[in-house]
Structure 1
Amino acid sequence: MESSEPYSSRRKLKKTLKPSWVFAIALGSSVGWGAFILPGDWIKDSGPLGAMIGLFIGALLMMVIASSYGVMIKKFPVSGGGFTYAFIAAGKVWAFICGWFLALGYLSIVALNASAFTLLLKFLAPDFMNRFYLYTVAGWDVYAPEVIIASLLILLFAFINTTGTSLSGRIQFYFSLLLIGGVGVLGLFTFGFADQPFQNLKPYFSGNQSILTSILVIVAIAPWAYVGFDNVPQAAEEFKFSPRKATMLIVASLFTSALIYAIMIGLTAWTFPSLSSIEQGNLWLTGDVVVSSLGIAGLIVMAIAIIMGIFTGLNGFYMSSSRLLFSMARARALPNAFRTVTKKNQTPIWGIWFVAVITLPMPWFGRQALSWIVDMSSTGVSVAYLFTCIAAYKVLAWKQEDAGREVAPVKKALALTGIIASSAFLALLLIPTSPAALSMPSYIMLLAWAIVGGGFYAAMRKRYNSLSQEETELYVLGKTIASEVMDTENAPAQKKKKPAII
């Protein structure tokens, strides 16, 4: 039986990640193609100022949720993220459910980023990309070049991640610098190009609805706009620094992400006095604004920034999805192959290649079908947010009388706020009458994935439950909950001791 296996065999990951790399993982995963492609749509729906305010409020809400992630990373610096925290909050069954839907979210975003790269190439080289027509799916024409290029990109980043976090973390950092630099250059030059940039921003809000509605429409997309900062807890086991820094790194990445979104919305609106001539029937408003104001040089800078956003997303979600699968396998919720690590770099190699194998067929279904999957997968990410906040609320205390828990009333209040915000995000996605409700194809796919998950859980249930509660805690958390309580109770006494000289 699995329970007879000694705890000493628990697989661990190598500590190689620097703080700057972790910041880049959070930032690069949060800012993708949407920051460059969608500002025109957001301005149309909410106005430039309404869109900016909505995204900054969304970032603040994510920071509230990030506070709970910081609490959990500090207490349990292990891989698993939402899966691990759902186990602490509600036990094995909910941990599996959360891990199952979170895995789908991560996998689909890998495929979406690969697809976004081919979408950019369609804009830059339409004659090449629109050759060798294959078929049409949901109104989207699928051509051979987009399938081949997306597949090669998926395989390339799978290989990069198998080499270990030393390489993937380093390139994530450099890619993120290019992303930030490109957006900064575009913002400065378009602002300088405009005669009256602040006047050009008018009307600040959409005239078709109230200011509050304009802002809330954008706030509703916050879980999608900032998804990726939760990749940080998946890498917690590989931190080469104190996990106490995690909250600061996540908050810094969310603030930087919000600035990038604001600059891209701003330059789309502030560059010219009127966008009416461009808006009519144009598919990429931001691209046309940059080309019209800065020419080919501006288009090249923006193309580099977009590519960096896509590459950082691919790299970050490959890392997070493989670590999630590794953590679930370590808890015996998945087959042993997923906890196999390389001898040299201690990288979960089979989890990485599994992600590649699952995502390779997705480009064949076309962009529209893939967007249904991604919309549906937002549910899994929101579920992970909810359980993380519940877990943080559970491990924190309001006052000293709550023995065995850290007394942190402010953090506990933030966790409670995060529970409410996460529940609201889930309601916006799942209630059919909501303005941000899933489409019918996404509902159907969500149900199908739930049914498949139920069947998979039934097959794994006996093995998953073969470990006792204490053994599961050891494999998932690296220690028991009881030992964590004792550590918390003894913390003041430990602080009085002088550190040992090693």
Structure 2
Amino acid sequence: MQRNGSFWQSLTRTKPTEEIVGEGGQGEGGRLKRTMGLWQLTMFSVGATLGTGIFVILGEAAPLAGPAVVVAFALAAITALFSALSYAELAGTIPVSGSSYSYAYATLGELVAWVCGWCLLLEYAVSVSAVAVGWGQYLNEFLNGLFGFTIPAALSAPPGDGGVVNVTAIAVVLLATWLLLGGASESARANAVMVVLKVAVLLFFCVVAFTAFDSGNLTPFAPMGIAGISAAGAQVFFSYIGFDAASTAGEEARNPKRDLPLAILLSLVIVTVVYVLVALAAVAAVHYSDLAGSEASLAMVLTNVIGGSWAAVLLSLGAVIAIASVVLTVLYGQTRILFAMSRDGLIPKIFSRVNPRTQVPTANIWLVSAFVALLAGLVPLGRLAEATSIGTLFAFALVNIGVMVLRRTRPDLERSFRTPLFPLTPILGTLFCVFLMTRLDHVTWLVFLLWILVGLGAYFAYGHRKSRLARAVRGANTP
């Protein structure tokens, strides 16, 4: 622990990895409970990654790459893999709840860790709200197809888009809250069931679509060449965001050093296989040009292959389950990152207060869920939702840099997983993240920079003074 009291060193002070790991699970008034195995952790990451994106993304990506959209999904997976390998190494070395926030605290210092954690707040809170907003649409499609009625738009549509209060968005957030309050193991079991169901729906789509396989639809394979494939790859990359969800469960995993790296990499493999199969089945069943502009591309493919409306009903059910799973896992990750930040003194202690009976941070869950529910139900998010991508890429870049820093500063640490081809892998991971960030809209950058400025104000007004590390340094320097 650094003892120099200069202002600059107070911003760059790092927290020893032994101290971070030693605090694992301990919060105000109790400890988190280690209940999750490899299966539950993998399902958490799959649940957070496999959302509604695949149900709509083909309509946006296929026109860019043609049938080679299959390659675009594989290319995006390789891009994500570089960061996933860095996450796997740090998750196995520093298996705690804070994910990239805690990794940055151990490698890049308190200020960078705060900015990382602050960016994750934007990513998680806004992304889960934006996802929840769309739940009513898919729920109505399912209810209409099955029972012939829908929930009024005033109660199921986003505010400003025909809705007054998006009650359905609030409902799915409250459902996830109820599961989270029951305990980590209960949440993990519910999520695993939802993940199995949504994967089953997508595999069913593949089976049906492959019955209409037409090799003619795959030629020419790459009509727009490499440029089209790379453009589509950059677009579908965001369908892979969420593979790091398991890293937020570091203090509730039974064998974190072994299981966290495996869960992160396994989830990426599972999601990639599903995406590639779905993309191949779709572009082989219909001509890629028919997918252009379709917001329900998979439903269109099934209707084209077998006719009738029941296929669309089934896919809408898959989307309803997918959204519920994403809301659950992302809310979970949000609360655990806040738990770690609170334990470090950077935000109020109430976020790290653990219920001794359920062994979960109850007040934290209620506060986060209430904020997300209000955001989803009452606020027109609009383009703000796009800002979640830049926050995620920023966190990914920091993790890649953190791996290189920790290898240099603490080569003696026990690492249950080592990133292969070091340092090439984390360097490529960082460069890919920066490249994708540059492709985002200027409005997204403006929101991101404003959010960071607000975060810096909050840090210097509260976190810098209240930090446990700062208090320890001040105590050591006091005669």
The answer for the alignment partner of 1:38 in structure 2 is 57
1:103 alignment counterpart: 121
Distance 1:453 1:284 in 2: 38
- Residue matched to 2:197: 178
1:463 is aligned to 2:465: yes
**Residues 35 and 260, structure 1, Cα contact 8 Å, conserved in 2:** no
| 1:325 corresponds to which of 338, 343, 368 | 338
Q: What is the CA distance between 1:470 and its match in structure 2?
A: 7.1
Distance 1:350 1:287, change over 3 A: same
Q: Which moved more, 1:262-271 or 1:105-114?
A: 262-271
What is the aligned counterpart of 2:108 among 67, 70, 90? 90
1:393 partnered with 2:393: no
Please provide the CA RMSD for this pair: 3.1
Match of residue 351, structure 1, among 357, 360, 364: 364
Residue in structure 1 matching 2:246, options 183, 208, 232: 232
Q: Aligned pair in 2 of structure 1 residues 104, 280: CA closer, same or farther (>3 Å)?
A: closer
- The residue number in structure 1 matching 2:425 is 417
How many Å separate the matches in 1 of 2:150 and 2:182?
A: 33
Shift of 1:9: 11
Match of 2:89 in 1: 71
Q: Quick check: 1:437 aligned with 2:451? A: no
Shift of residue 377, structure 1, vs aligned partner: 1.7
1: CA distance between counterparts of 2:415 and 2:150?
Answer: 61
Structure 2: runs of 5 or more not aligned: 1-22, 475-479
Q: Which residue of 2 aligns with 1:492?
A: none
| Residue aligned with 1:220, SS | helix
CA deviation vs aligned residue, 1:291-337 (integer Å, no higher than 9, x gap): 23233332233223222221211111011000000000000010011
TM-score relative to the length of structure 2: 0.84
Distance 1:202 1:122 in 2: 37
Q: Which amino acid aligns with 1:339?
A: S
Residue 407 of structure 1 deviates from its aligned partner by 8.8
- Structure 2 residue 303 is matched with structure 1 residue 291: yes
C-alpha separation between the residues in 2 aligned to 1:227 and 1:280?
A: 23
On the 8 A contact 2:218/2:284 being kept in 1, the answer is yes
Q: Distance in 1 between matches of 2:362 and 2:112?
A: 26
Say if 2:221 is the partner of 1:204: yes
SS at match of 2:447: helix
1:26 and 1:414 map into 2 onto residues whose CA distance is: 24
Give how far 1:231 is off. 1.1
Q: Which runs of 5+ in 1 are unaligned?
A: 1-6, 473-502
What does the per-residue CA deviation read over 1:164-185, in whole Å, with 9 as the maximum and x for residues that have no partner? 1111100111111112211111
Once residues 244 and 469 of structure 1 are traced to their aligned partners in structure 2, the CA distance between those partners, rounded to angstroms, is 34
Aligned to 2:390: 379
Q: Which residue of 1 aligns with 2:7?
A: none
Amino acid at match of 2:169: A
Structure 1 SS opposite 2:469: coil
Q: CA deviation at 1:213?
A: 1.2
Letter of the 1:217 partner, please give it. A
1:96-175 matches, within 5 Å, as 96-124=114-142, 125=144, 128-129=150-151, 131-132=153-154, 141-144=161-164, 147-175=166-194
Question: 1:132: how far off?
Answer: 3.9
1:334-349 matches, within 5 Å, as: 334-349=347-362
TM value normalised by structure 1: 0.80
Is the Cα–Cα contact under 8 Å of residues 25 and 252 in structure 2 kept in the other structure?
A: no
How far 1:391 sits from its partner (Å)? 2.1
CA contact (8 A) 1:393 1:416 kept: no
Query: Offset at 1:89?
Result: 1.8
Question: Structure 1 residues 38 and 447 mapped into 2: Cα distance closer, same or farther (>3 Å)?
Answer: same
Match of 1:426 in 2: 434
Q: CA deviation at 1:120?
A: 1.7
Alignment of 1:39-58 (within 5 A): 39-49=58-68, 51-58=69-76
Q: State how far apart, in whole Å, the 2-side matches of 1:349 and 1:373 are.
A: 28
More displaced stretch, 102-111 vs 298-307? 298-307
Contact 1:42 1:48 in 2 (8 A): no
Match of 1:300 in 2: 313
Q: How many residues align?
A: 445
In 2, are the aligned partners of 1:26 and 1:250 still within 8 Å (CA)? Answer: yes
Deviations 1:177-208 (A, max 9, x none): 1122111111012211x1x4332233422x3x
2:245 partner amino acid: N
Q: What CA distance in whole angstroms lies between the structure 2 residues aligned with 1:118 and 1:9?
A: 36
Could you say which residue in structure 1 is the equivalent of 2:15?
Answer: none
Post-superposition CA distance 1:387-425 (Å, at most 9, x none): 222222233369xxx862569997264454224333432
Q: Is the 8 A contact 1:17 1:166 kept in 2?
A: yes
8 Å Cα contact 1:33-1:116 kept in structure 2: no
CA contact (8 A) 2:173 2:373 kept: yes
Residues 339 and 471 of structure 1, relative CA distance in 2, 3 Å threshold: farther
